[in-house]
Amino acid sequence: MYIDFHKPQPIYLQMIDEIKRSLARGELQPGEKIPSQRERAQVSRINPNTVQRAYREMEAIGLTVTVRGQGTFITTDMSVLNKVRDEMTNQAIHTFIEEMSALGYCSEEIQAAVQDYMTNVGTKED
Amino acid sequence: MRNEPLLLELQQVRKQYGTTQALNGVSVKISSGVIVGFLGQNGCGKTTLFDVIAGISRPTSGEVRIQGRKPSHRTKAMIAYMADRDFLYGWMTVGQIVDFYASFCSDWDEDRADAFMHSLALDPSDHISSLSKGFRARIKMLLALSRKAPLVLLDEPFTGVDPISKDLIVSSMMHTFQFGEQTILLSTHGTAGIDLLMDEIVLMKKGAIALHDTTERLRTELGGAISNIWREAAL
Protein backbone atom coordinates (compact mmCIF):
# COMPACT_ATOMS: atom_id res chain seq x y z
CA MET A 1 0.00 0.00 0.00
CA TYR A 2 1.57 3.23 -1.13
CA ILE A 3 0.81 6.38 0.80
CA ASP A 4 2.07 9.81 -0.09
CA PHE A 5 3.01 11.13 3.32
CA HIS A 6 3.59 14.74 2.32
CA LYS A 7 0.51 16.03 4.08
CA PRO A 8 1.10 17.60 7.49
CA GLN A 9 -1.43 15.30 9.23
CA PRO A 10 -0.01 12.74 11.64
CA ILE A 11 1.19 9.64 9.81
CA TYR A 12 -0.89 7.25 11.91
CA LEU A 13 -4.05 9.14 10.83
CA GLN A 14 -3.00 9.02 7.17
CA MET A 15 -2.51 5.26 7.54
CA ILE A 16 -6.05 4.90 8.92
CA ASP A 17 -7.43 7.11 6.12
CA GLU A 18 -5.78 4.88 3.55
CA ILE A 19 -7.45 1.79 5.05
CA LYS A 20 -10.79 3.63 5.01
CA ARG A 21 -10.30 4.61 1.36
CA SER A 22 -9.43 1.02 0.42
CA LEU A 23 -12.65 -0.07 2.11
CA ALA A 24 -14.72 2.55 0.32
CA ARG A 25 -13.20 1.47 -3.01
CA GLY A 26 -13.89 -2.17 -2.22
CA GLU A 27 -10.21 -3.17 -2.33
CA LEU A 28 -10.60 -4.29 1.27
CA GLN A 29 -13.60 -6.39 2.25
CA PRO A 30 -15.41 -6.67 5.59
CA GLY A 31 -13.84 -9.46 7.60
CA GLU A 32 -10.64 -9.41 5.53
CA LYS A 33 -7.34 -9.94 7.30
CA ILE A 34 -4.90 -7.04 7.21
CA PRO A 35 -1.10 -7.34 7.64
CA SER A 36 0.26 -7.68 11.16
CA GLN A 37 1.84 -4.60 12.70
CA ARG A 38 5.29 -6.04 12.19
CA GLU A 39 4.63 -6.83 8.52
CA ARG A 40 3.15 -3.40 7.97
CA ALA A 41 6.17 -1.69 9.56
CA GLN A 42 8.55 -3.81 7.49
CA VAL A 43 6.81 -3.47 4.13
CA SER A 44 6.04 0.24 4.35
CA ARG A 45 9.19 1.04 6.32
CA ILE A 46 7.21 2.95 8.91
CA ASN A 47 8.21 3.36 12.54
CA PRO A 48 6.70 0.41 14.49
CA ASN A 49 5.44 2.76 17.23
CA THR A 50 3.50 4.72 14.58
CA VAL A 51 2.04 1.50 13.14
CA GLN A 52 1.07 0.40 16.63
CA ARG A 53 -0.70 3.71 17.22
CA ALA A 54 -2.68 3.40 13.97
CA TYR A 55 -3.72 -0.18 14.79
CA ARG A 56 -4.75 0.77 18.33
CA GLU A 57 -6.83 3.65 17.01
CA MET A 58 -8.56 1.48 14.38
CA GLU A 59 -9.38 -1.04 17.09
CA ALA A 60 -10.71 1.72 19.35
CA ILE A 61 -13.13 3.05 16.71
CA GLY A 62 -14.26 -0.50 15.92
CA LEU A 63 -12.86 -0.52 12.40
CA THR A 64 -10.77 -3.61 13.09
CA VAL A 65 -10.92 -6.58 15.40
CA THR A 66 -7.85 -8.42 16.63
CA VAL A 67 -8.20 -12.13 17.33
CA ARG A 68 -5.44 -13.42 19.56
CA GLY A 69 -3.11 -15.71 17.68
CA GLN A 70 -4.89 -15.14 14.38
CA GLY A 71 -4.33 -11.51 13.47
CA THR A 72 -6.19 -8.31 12.76
CA PHE A 73 -9.35 -8.26 10.65
CA ILE A 74 -11.60 -5.56 9.19
CA THR A 75 -14.84 -5.54 11.12
CA THR A 76 -17.95 -7.19 9.69
CA ASP A 77 -20.13 -4.71 11.56
CA MET A 78 -21.94 -2.97 8.71
CA SER A 79 -22.98 0.01 10.84
CA VAL A 80 -19.31 0.84 11.39
CA LEU A 81 -18.48 0.34 7.71
CA ASN A 82 -21.40 2.48 6.58
CA LYS A 83 -20.32 5.18 8.97
CA VAL A 84 -16.79 5.07 7.51
CA ARG A 85 -18.19 5.36 4.00
CA ASP A 86 -20.41 8.31 4.95
CA GLU A 87 -17.45 9.96 6.62
CA MET A 88 -15.29 9.57 3.52
CA THR A 89 -18.10 10.85 1.30
CA ASN A 90 -18.68 13.91 3.49
CA GLN A 91 -14.97 14.60 3.57
CA ALA A 92 -14.72 14.49 -0.25
CA ILE A 93 -17.75 16.74 -0.67
CA HIS A 94 -16.48 19.15 1.96
CA THR A 95 -13.13 19.49 0.18
CA PHE A 96 -14.86 20.00 -3.17
CA ILE A 97 -17.29 22.64 -1.86
CA GLU A 98 -14.47 24.47 -0.11
CA GLU A 99 -12.45 24.66 -3.32
CA MET A 100 -15.45 25.77 -5.37
CA SER A 101 -16.29 28.43 -2.78
CA ALA A 102 -12.70 29.63 -2.94
CA LEU A 103 -13.21 30.01 -6.70
CA GLY A 104 -16.21 32.23 -5.98
CA TYR A 105 -19.06 29.79 -6.72
CA CYS A 106 -22.27 30.03 -4.73
CA SER A 107 -24.43 27.03 -3.82
CA GLU A 108 -26.70 27.17 -6.93
CA GLU A 109 -23.72 27.63 -9.25
CA ILE A 110 -21.96 24.64 -7.73
CA GLN A 111 -25.05 22.48 -8.19
CA ALA A 112 -25.43 23.66 -11.77
CA ALA A 113 -21.75 23.04 -12.47
CA VAL A 114 -21.96 19.49 -11.09
CA GLN A 115 -25.14 18.83 -13.10
CA ASP A 116 -23.47 20.19 -16.20
CA TYR A 117 -20.37 18.09 -15.66
CA MET A 118 -22.34 14.90 -15.09
CA THR A 119 -24.32 15.45 -18.29
CA ASN A 120 -21.36 16.30 -20.48
CA VAL A 121 -18.57 14.16 -19.08
CA GLY A 122 -20.67 11.64 -17.21
CA THR A 123 -18.99 9.12 -15.03
CA LYS A 124 -17.11 7.39 -17.82
CA GLU A 125 -13.80 8.09 -16.07
CA ASP A 126 -14.63 5.27 -13.71
CA MET B 1 9.27 13.83 26.01
CA ARG B 2 7.10 10.74 26.57
CA ASN B 3 5.62 8.91 29.48
CA GLU B 4 7.88 5.90 29.10
CA PRO B 5 10.75 5.56 31.58
CA LEU B 6 13.87 7.63 30.95
CA LEU B 7 16.67 5.67 29.30
CA LEU B 8 19.29 8.27 28.64
CA GLU B 9 20.02 11.66 30.10
CA LEU B 10 22.81 14.07 29.23
CA GLN B 11 23.42 17.25 31.16
CA GLN B 12 25.65 20.03 29.90
CA VAL B 13 28.02 17.59 28.23
CA ARG B 14 31.15 19.21 26.78
CA LYS B 15 33.97 17.58 24.92
CA GLN B 16 37.11 19.37 23.89
CA TYR B 17 39.81 18.05 21.58
CA GLY B 18 42.75 20.46 21.87
CA THR B 19 41.25 23.79 20.96
CA THR B 20 38.23 22.25 19.21
CA GLN B 21 34.98 22.25 21.14
CA ALA B 22 33.29 19.14 19.68
CA LEU B 23 30.38 19.18 22.15
CA ASN B 24 29.32 22.48 23.57
CA GLY B 25 26.95 21.83 26.45
CA VAL B 26 24.61 19.09 25.21
CA SER B 27 21.56 18.37 27.38
CA VAL B 28 19.02 15.82 26.19
CA LYS B 29 16.60 13.24 27.58
CA ILE B 30 15.58 10.11 25.67
CA SER B 31 12.78 7.80 26.80
CA SER B 32 12.73 4.05 26.45
CA GLY B 33 11.27 2.47 23.31
CA VAL B 34 11.72 5.23 20.75
CA ILE B 35 13.62 5.66 17.51
CA VAL B 36 15.41 9.00 17.49
CA GLY B 37 17.12 10.62 14.53
CA PHE B 38 20.15 12.82 15.18
CA LEU B 39 20.43 15.18 12.22
CA GLY B 40 23.22 17.55 11.45
CA GLN B 41 25.90 18.41 8.99
CA ASN B 42 29.32 16.79 9.09
CA GLY B 43 31.34 18.04 12.02
CA CYS B 44 28.36 19.05 14.15
CA GLY B 45 29.32 16.60 16.90
CA LYS B 46 27.07 13.59 16.22
CA THR B 47 29.86 11.00 16.31
CA THR B 48 31.48 12.56 19.37
CA LEU B 49 28.11 12.48 21.10
CA PHE B 50 27.62 8.79 20.28
CA ASP B 51 31.18 8.00 21.44
CA VAL B 52 30.43 9.72 24.74
CA ILE B 53 27.11 7.88 25.21
CA ALA B 54 28.79 4.56 24.34
CA GLY B 55 31.49 5.21 26.93
CA ILE B 56 34.27 5.16 24.34
CA SER B 57 35.12 8.78 24.98
CA ARG B 58 34.90 10.66 28.30
CA PRO B 59 33.28 14.08 28.33
CA THR B 60 35.47 17.01 29.38
CA SER B 61 32.63 18.06 31.66
CA GLY B 62 28.95 17.32 32.22
CA GLU B 63 26.94 14.25 33.12
CA VAL B 64 25.89 11.17 31.15
CA ARG B 65 23.37 8.73 32.65
CA ILE B 66 22.13 5.51 31.08
CA GLN B 67 19.21 4.13 33.09
CA GLY B 68 20.55 6.27 35.89
CA ARG B 69 24.09 4.85 35.64
CA LYS B 70 27.33 6.57 34.68
CA PRO B 71 29.04 5.11 31.59
CA SER B 72 31.02 2.02 32.65
CA HIS B 73 31.56 -1.57 31.59
CA ARG B 74 28.00 -2.22 32.80
CA THR B 75 26.46 0.39 30.54
CA LYS B 76 28.71 -0.68 27.67
CA ALA B 77 27.08 -4.10 27.85
CA MET B 78 23.69 -2.41 27.40
CA ILE B 79 24.68 -0.57 24.23
CA ALA B 80 25.08 -1.91 20.71
CA TYR B 81 27.16 0.69 18.93
CA MET B 82 27.58 0.65 15.19
CA ALA B 83 30.34 3.13 14.50
CA ASP B 84 30.75 4.92 11.19
CA ARG B 85 34.41 3.80 11.14
CA ASP B 86 35.03 0.62 9.18
CA PHE B 87 35.80 -2.03 11.77
CA LEU B 88 35.31 -5.12 9.57
CA TYR B 89 38.42 -7.18 8.87
CA GLY B 90 38.79 -7.59 5.13
CA TRP B 91 40.35 -11.06 5.32
CA MET B 92 37.40 -12.57 7.18
CA THR B 93 34.28 -14.04 5.64
CA VAL B 94 30.82 -12.75 6.56
CA GLY B 95 30.19 -15.88 8.65
CA GLN B 96 33.54 -15.53 10.45
CA ILE B 97 32.98 -11.90 11.34
CA VAL B 98 29.53 -12.71 12.71
CA ASP B 99 30.94 -15.57 14.86
CA PHE B 100 33.86 -13.40 15.94
CA TYR B 101 31.59 -10.55 16.97
CA ALA B 102 29.02 -12.85 18.61
CA SER B 103 31.73 -14.32 20.85
CA PHE B 104 32.15 -10.91 22.53
CA CYS B 105 28.44 -10.35 23.14
CA SER B 106 26.69 -12.15 25.97
CA ASP B 107 23.34 -10.88 24.68
CA TRP B 108 23.80 -12.25 21.15
CA ASP B 109 20.60 -13.60 19.58
CA GLU B 110 21.49 -16.40 17.17
CA ASP B 111 17.99 -16.64 15.67
CA ARG B 112 17.84 -12.93 15.01
CA ALA B 113 21.27 -13.02 13.34
CA ASP B 114 20.14 -15.89 11.09
CA ALA B 115 16.99 -13.99 10.17
CA PHE B 116 19.07 -10.91 9.29
CA MET B 117 21.51 -12.96 7.22
CA HIS B 118 18.53 -14.09 5.16
CA SER B 119 16.53 -10.84 4.95
CA LEU B 120 19.62 -8.77 4.13
CA ALA B 121 20.60 -11.28 1.43
CA LEU B 122 24.05 -11.89 2.95
CA ASP B 123 26.17 -14.93 2.11
CA PRO B 124 28.25 -16.25 5.04
CA SER B 125 30.98 -17.50 2.69
CA ASP B 126 31.62 -14.11 1.04
CA HIS B 127 34.89 -12.40 1.88
CA ILE B 128 34.52 -8.96 3.44
CA SER B 129 37.17 -7.52 1.13
CA SER B 130 35.04 -8.40 -1.92
CA LEU B 131 31.94 -6.60 -0.68
CA SER B 132 30.57 -3.20 -1.68
CA LYS B 133 29.87 -0.43 0.80
CA GLY B 134 26.17 -1.31 0.74
CA PHE B 135 26.88 -4.90 1.77
CA ARG B 136 29.30 -3.80 4.48
CA ALA B 137 26.56 -1.56 5.84
CA ARG B 138 24.21 -4.58 5.86
CA ILE B 139 26.72 -6.61 7.90
CA LYS B 140 27.19 -3.79 10.37
CA MET B 141 23.41 -3.58 10.79
CA LEU B 142 23.23 -7.33 11.42
CA LEU B 143 25.97 -7.04 14.06
CA ALA B 144 24.29 -4.12 15.85
CA LEU B 145 20.73 -5.44 15.80
CA SER B 146 21.37 -9.12 16.56
CA ARG B 147 22.10 -8.19 20.16
CA LYS B 148 19.36 -7.82 22.75
CA ALA B 149 20.86 -4.52 23.87
CA PRO B 150 18.27 -2.03 25.13
CA LEU B 151 20.13 0.87 23.48
CA VAL B 152 21.31 0.78 19.88
CA LEU B 153 23.49 3.55 18.46
CA LEU B 154 23.80 3.68 14.69
CA ASP B 155 26.24 6.26 13.41
CA GLU B 156 25.52 7.22 9.77
CA PRO B 157 24.17 3.79 8.78
CA PHE B 158 23.03 5.05 5.36
CA THR B 159 25.93 7.19 4.24
CA GLY B 160 27.20 6.06 0.85
CA VAL B 161 24.79 3.13 0.88
CA ASP B 162 22.93 2.26 -2.33
CA PRO B 163 19.10 2.66 -2.27
CA ILE B 164 18.38 -1.08 -2.37
CA SER B 165 20.64 -1.78 0.60
CA LYS B 166 19.12 1.16 2.43
CA ASP B 167 15.57 -0.09 1.88
CA LEU B 168 16.53 -3.60 3.00
CA ILE B 169 18.29 -2.28 6.09
CA VAL B 170 15.33 -0.11 7.09
CA SER B 171 12.84 -2.94 6.48
CA SER B 172 14.88 -5.32 8.64
CA MET B 173 15.19 -2.69 11.32
CA MET B 174 11.43 -2.12 11.38
CA HIS B 175 10.74 -5.85 11.32
CA THR B 176 12.94 -6.72 14.29
CA PHE B 177 12.19 -3.66 16.43
CA GLN B 178 11.48 -4.81 19.97
CA PHE B 179 8.45 -2.88 21.22
CA GLY B 180 9.16 -1.06 24.45
CA GLU B 181 12.46 -2.88 24.97
CA GLN B 182 14.64 -1.32 22.34
CA THR B 183 15.67 2.28 21.83
CA ILE B 184 17.47 3.26 18.66
CA LEU B 185 19.50 6.43 18.16
CA LEU B 186 20.47 6.95 14.56
CA SER B 187 22.58 9.74 13.11
CA THR B 188 22.31 10.94 9.56
CA HIS B 189 22.84 14.03 7.46
CA GLY B 190 20.04 13.22 5.04
CA THR B 191 16.31 13.58 5.61
CA ALA B 192 14.78 11.40 2.86
CA GLY B 193 12.14 9.13 4.37
CA ILE B 194 13.27 10.04 7.83
CA ASP B 195 9.87 11.22 9.06
CA LEU B 196 8.43 7.74 8.64
CA LEU B 197 11.25 6.21 10.64
CA MET B 198 11.68 8.47 13.64
CA ASP B 199 9.60 9.07 16.73
CA GLU B 200 11.72 12.06 17.58
CA ILE B 201 14.24 14.26 15.85
CA VAL B 202 17.25 15.96 17.42
CA LEU B 203 18.90 18.60 15.30
CA MET B 204 22.55 19.32 16.11
CA LYS B 205 24.49 22.44 15.21
CA LYS B 206 28.07 23.26 16.13
CA GLY B 207 28.28 20.80 19.01
CA ALA B 208 24.95 21.76 20.53
CA ILE B 209 21.31 20.76 20.22
CA ALA B 210 19.39 23.25 18.12
CA LEU B 211 16.04 21.44 18.22
CA HIS B 212 14.47 18.35 19.78
CA ASP B 213 10.84 17.43 19.16
CA THR B 214 8.53 14.63 18.08
CA THR B 215 8.44 13.99 14.35
CA GLU B 216 4.67 14.44 14.25
CA ARG B 217 4.87 17.91 15.80
CA LEU B 218 7.68 18.92 13.46
CA ARG B 219 5.74 17.64 10.44
CA THR B 220 2.75 19.76 11.44
CA GLU B 221 4.89 22.83 12.00
CA LEU B 222 6.87 22.39 8.80
CA GLY B 223 3.81 21.58 6.67
CA GLY B 224 4.59 17.91 6.17
CA ALA B 225 8.11 18.18 4.84
CA ILE B 226 10.81 17.44 7.36
CA SER B 227 13.40 18.52 4.80
CA ASN B 228 12.33 22.09 5.59
CA ILE B 229 14.02 21.56 8.92
CA TRP B 230 17.33 22.76 7.49
CA ARG B 231 15.81 26.11 6.61
CA GLU B 232 14.26 26.29 10.06
CA ALA B 233 17.58 25.55 11.70
CA ALA B 234 19.42 28.11 9.65
CA LEU B 235 17.34 30.90 11.18
Each residue's pLDDT tens digit, B69-90: 999 888 988 999 998 877 788 8
Q: Which residues of A touch B (CB under 8 A)?
A: 5-11, 38, 41-50, 52
**Could you tell me which of B49, B89, B84, B81 has the C-alpha nearest to residue B161?**
B84
Percent of chain A predicted with pLDDT > 90: 59
Does the pLDDT value for residue B230 go beyond 70? Answer: no
- Topology of domain A11-76 in CATH is Arc Repressor Mutant, subunit A (1.10.10)
Distances (CA, A) of A126 to A15, A25, A121, A122, A123: 24, 11, 11, 9, 6
Does the pLDDT value for residue A6 go beyond 70? Answer: no
Helix (H) or strand (E) holding B68: none
The rounded distance, in Å, linking the Cα atoms of B192 and B197 is 10
B197 touches chain A (CB under 8 A): yes
How large is the average pLDDT for residues B218-224?
Answer: 79
The domain spans of chain B are 6-234
Into which CATH architecture does domain B6-234 fall? 3-Layer(aba) Sandwich (3.40)
Cβ–Cβ below 8 Å for B223 and A8:
yes
Closest chain A residue to B177, measured at CA:
A48
Q: Distance from A91 to chain B by nearest Cα, in Å? A: 20
How large is the average pLDDT for residues B6-19?
Answer: 93
Taking only the tens place, the pLDDT of each residue in B29-70 is 999 999 999 998 888 899 999 999 999 999 999 999 999 999
* pLDDT at B146 (0 to 100): 94
Higher pLDDT residue, B2 or B219? B219
Does the pLDDT value for residue B3 go beyond 70? Answer: no
Q: Distance from A55 to chain B by nearest Cα, in Å? A: 14
Which residues of chain A neighbour B34 with C-beta distances below 8 Å? 49
Q: Is B201 exposed, middle or buried (0-12, 13-18, 19+ CB in 10 A)?
A: buried
- Which segments of A32-106 does DSSP mark as H helices, in order? 37-44, 48-60, 78-102
Cβ–Cβ below 8 Å for A11 and B216:
yes
Which residues of chain A neighbour B224 with C-beta distances below 8 Å? 5-9
Confidence band of A8 (pLDDT split at 50, 70, 90): confident
Which residues of chain A neighbour B177 with C-beta distances below 8 Å? 41, 48
Residue in A9, A10, A42 nearest the CB of B174: A42
The domain spans of chain A are 11-76, 79-120
* pLDDT at B235 (0 to 100): 47
Q: What is the pTM of this model?
A: 0.84
Taking only the tens place, the pLDDT of each residue in B145-194 is 999 999 999 999 988 888 888 888 898 888 888 888 899 999 987 777 67
Q: Which of A50, A52, A53, A55 to mutate to test the interface with B (most CBs of B within 10 A)?
A: A50
How many CB pairs below 8 A link A and B? 59
Taking only the tens place, the pLDDT of each residue in A44-100 is 889 999 999 999 999 999 999 999 989 999 999 999 888 888 988 898 899 999 999
Residue A25 phi/psi, 5-degree rounding, is -80, -10
Q: Which residues pair with B14 in a beta bridge?
A: B24, B61
Closest chain A residue to B220, measured at CA:
A8
Q: Could you give the count of Cα atoms lying within 13 Å of A63 in the half-sphere of its Cβ?
A: 23
Cβ atoms of B180 and B5 closer than 8 Å: no
* pLDDT at B80 (0 to 100): 93
Q: Distance from B197 to chain A by nearest Cα, in Å? A: 5
Contacts 24+ apart (CB under 8 A), A87-94: A87/A20, A88/A20, A88/A21, A88/A24, A89/A24
Sheet hosting strand B61-66, strand order edge to edge: B20-31, B6-17, B61-66
Which residues of chain A neighbour B197 with C-beta distances below 8 Å? 45-47
* pLDDT at B233 (0 to 100): 61
**Could you tell me which of B56, B65, B59 has the C-alpha nearest to residue B28?**
B65
3-class DSSP state for residue A44? Answer: helix
Cβ atoms of B168 and B121 closer than 8 Å: yes
Residue A7 phi/psi, 5-degree rounding, is -75, 150
Does the pLDDT value for residue B227 go beyond 80? Answer: no
